[in-house]
Chains A and B, each alone.
Chain A
């Protein structure tokens, strides 16, 4: 069984060139995808992340062949496939609704593609059995899709796509109908299968946790364009814009009083009355800039007794939410509210609402951004 699975097609590379999709005409014209370029390397797991309407699903559907591009091209291993119909493209797709054929059993669903390919029936059986086995679906082969749980249906959908040994696997928000626990589990399963077979995969989601945990690289999209492409750590710690920082995780944006370059990729800034050297975006210094500090980079402790001022790095606690492994504070400061997350808090040191607190952060853990990049 392992044999059939490991002989899957050699990984393919995919290139999007100037890809554009315009819906409607005249006044009702909407540009859903605006000339995007992207190189996806063989065997890579890439995620399109963005708010609804950003063009991520349309891009995926163009790659699958369900939408015809208005401009640009899609190259699979150097060959332009933009004009091929979906059934001629060597791609497998897993749908948000799973799209299992309700009138066929699990086995028949998975055998559907190989049968259409007109493989000899012995081979169809062998391959379907192997895929079902590898997805732990063997015991459910004869069930009908409506007798399966959401997670099982998801696995059947994946098995059905994989049995075709596609060169590229496409996922359209496949986990959004599952509960949180199952979602986390399926995410690991999908990643495992993908890595085992080395299939180039494209995953669309609006869930940042999902994107962070599953991807080799993340493509953040916004208003039909690519905002940033990078590995998850880059996206989170070195976002290209306020939008990206804001979309992924919680962000504090601190007003910067002055900023001057100090060596490559660094800047000296004055913030909350203190001067420090921080890592900086290349464009941060050419214009007005703002400092990104993630809540978990901020430490919080009670202010000295009797000190009830709100200035500098001292403020008043507005809200404390205790989550168990961490506590989240909202602190009113001279530059507005900031959010701080203290992990593994000590019971006695939790600052109550209304009390005053001092806060601090490590300058290495902040990131200077151009202020107008929103």
Chain B
């Protein structure tokens, strides 16, 4: 993990890299790219947080039919392949879109900031939704009751009590979204048009111009906001006790009953949910259509195409590699979580930091790091300590590097849910086991593991989905021997064969749902036993 990062660091500062850095302030092109990246980040983060808040508020404070469905729909984008939104949006709302031209008679230009905003916001708002919802669930309803019994109206209570306590939640989800939006590679490639951002620039530098140092330098700039956010969040996490101090919520939650208020508050969530449903319908229908928007007649050609030759190979190999990586990531995350919560006293923060780094580092950076580190064998002196792991001539066709990236990207999810679950287990439970004669390992196996299993599996479920749908780190290390579905989708989109892309997306969603279903069955294996509530985390 550290190794590829230091290599990318070194490469970024060699001659060409320094030139790029030097140009940051002198070259107006580069300045525009950075400006674009920041604008995109801020717009997406603000909109995403706002939408996430409205959805979370509706979930917590409103009573309406279809609440659970709304919750599920709001989480769907988390497992959606990167191009599904972009291609569907182009098909529906693009220059010759089914809705924009055929129904409304317009021909808007989506490519660039507007399209990116729509696509990225709808892809990433669930992150904000989950973090704000989690925070709101922890707010003690008794606080609302206390405020109203002191004479404050509902509106006043909201602005004086609820909102101030949610500000850390807003801030952290804003930062998270900022990083996600600026690190995203897939959408800028497809719908970015002339609106170049750092991640797409780095991709072009490496895959188009074969200028590795420049690519490394671009991605280094990308690393900065990511790390800042990550560190700020860690720091914030230590102090957000405003919310957790009350412990178990005691009061009864009250719901907004005013019909007008209810209607107004539901507008955004319902629009958002309809949009997601629309996108999904488009993707799935599109996968069965000859050319959606041009020739809507049904066909199985798209599936025939993706199941033949390279496409089929990609489906199988991507799934295989993700399936291999998931348990490794789970084990790694779990062991780290256990060490952090229970065993290591000194340096636990550092350990946590390095464990989570895999998620904090933008995928582009990680991918480039792996590409330039492992595309030749690693030697110390004359002894080869590692063979070539990535690239065309690597052992196992470069699959090892890909699995490593999947693992590094996924283990933080296991680590996070593991930590959360472990912290809910009273240390006295471990002590009880010890005082009954169990060794540390026996306690872990017989007590700790069964208790955190559900949370862990849920974490892994999302990790698997993430592996399957990830593009930015993989695109730099994929080889002809290891075709990756997301990369195939990119190729199809690039050549305008949206039908095939839709079919790939549908297939990917189906695969993710199947594996999630299996994991869910595993979790529910012993239903009558109480366990720690699963903590969903992306």
Binding site for B on A (CB under 8 A): 64-66, 85-89, 91-93, 95-97, 99-104, 112-113, 116-117, 144-146, 157, 160-161, 164, 170
Contacts and interface: CB of A to CB of B under 8 A. Distances in A.
A294 B439 CA distance: 51
Given A145-B530, A146-B530, 12 more contacts: A66-B434, A87-B436, A103-B450, A103-B529, A103-B530, A113-B437, A113-B438, A116-B438, A144-B530, A160-B432, A164-B436, A164-B437
A102 B531 contact: yes
Chain B interface helix/strand/loop/mixed: helix
B530 A86 contact: no
24 contacts: A64-B431, A64-B435, A65-B434, A85-B434, A86-B431, A87-B434, A93-B432, A97-B426, A99-B428, A99-B431, A99-B432, A100-B432, A101-B432, A102-B531, A103-B450, A112-B433, A112-B436, A112-B446, A113-B436, A113-B437, A116-B437, A116-B442, A144-B530, A160-B436
A97 B437 contact: no
B528 interface: yes
A117 B447 contact: no
B445 to A, nearest CB: 11
Contact of A97 (B428, B528, B531): B428
B329 to A, nearest CB: 24
A65 B435 CA distance: 8
A92 B432 CA distance: 9
A92 B429 CA distance: 13
A102 B530 CA distance: 6
User: Chain B CB within 10 Å — which of A96, A101, A145, A157 has the most?
Assistant: A101
Contacts of A112: 433, 436, 438, 446
B439 A95 contact: no
B451 interface: yes
A87 B436 CA distance: 6
Given A87-B439, A112-B436, A113-B437, A103 B531 contact: yes
Contacts of A97: 426, 428
A313 B126 CA distance: 76
A100 B436 CA distance: 12
Contacts, number: 78
B437 A101 contact: no
Interface string B424-461: 00101101111111110010001100110000000000
A283 B405 CA distance: 75
Contacts of B431: 64, 66, 86, 93, 95, 99
Contact of A95 (B428, B437, B442, B450): B428
A104 B442 CA distance: 15
Contacts of A164: 436-437
Contacts of B438: 87, 112-113, 116
Most buried by B among A66, A93, A103, A117: A103
A57 to B, nearest CB: 12
Contacts of A170: 435
Contacts of A96: 428
Contacts of B531: 102-103
A113 B439 CA distance: 11
Nearest to A90: B437
Interface in B521-538: 528-531
A103 B435 contact: no
Contacts of A99: 426, 428-429, 431-432
A195 B185 CA distance: 72
Contacts of A157: 432
Contacts of B433: 101, 112
A104 B443 CA distance: 13
Q: Which 8 pairs from chain A and chain B are nearest by CB?
A: A113-B436, A99-B428, A99-B432, A86-B434, A95-B428, A93-B435, A99-B429, A103-B450
Interface string B213-226: 00000000000000
Contact of A161 (B435, B446, B529): B435
A102 B451 contact: yes
B437 A91 contact: no
Nearest to B425: A102
A112 B437 CA distance: 9
A170 B426 CA distance: 18
A144 B528 contact: yes
Identify the interface centre among A91, A102, A160: most chain B CB within 10 Å of its CB. A102
B447 A101 contact: yes
B473 to A, nearest CB: 37
B274 to A, nearest CB: 40
Nearest to A147: B530
A21 to B, nearest CB: 16
Nearest to B435: A93
A93 B433 CA distance: 10
Nearest to B430: A99
B269 to A, nearest CB: 34
A88 B431 CA distance: 13
Nearest to A93: B435
A112 B442 CA distance: 11
Contacts of A66: 431, 434
A64 B432 CA distance: 10
A92 B446 CA distance: 19
Contacts of A92: 435-436
**Most A-side CB within 10 Å, residue of B436, B437, B438:** B436
A44 B446 CA distance: 34
A155 to B, nearest CB: 15
Interface string B378-396: 0000000000000000000
A254 to B, nearest CB: 44
A173 to B, nearest CB: 11
A274 to B, nearest CB: 54
A87 B530 contact: no
B438 to A, nearest CB: 5
Contacts of A88: 437
A66 B436 CA distance: 13
A66 B171 CA distance: 40
Nearest to B526: A103
- Which among B426, B432, B438, B442 has the greatest number of chain A C-beta atoms within 10 A? B432
Interface string B392-434: 0000000000000000000000000000000000101101111
Contacts of B446: 112
A103 B451 contact: yes
Contacts of A65: 434-435
Interface string B64-105: 000000000000000000000000000000000000000000
A97 B428 CA distance: 7
A144 B435 contact: no
A66 B435 CA distance: 9
Nearest to A118: B437
A117 B426 contact: no
A59 to B, nearest CB: 15
Contacts of A93: 431-432, 435
Contacts of A145: 530
Contact of B435 (A91, A117, A146): A91
Contacts of B442: 116
Nearest to A146: B530
A220 B450 CA distance: 41
Nearest to B450: A103
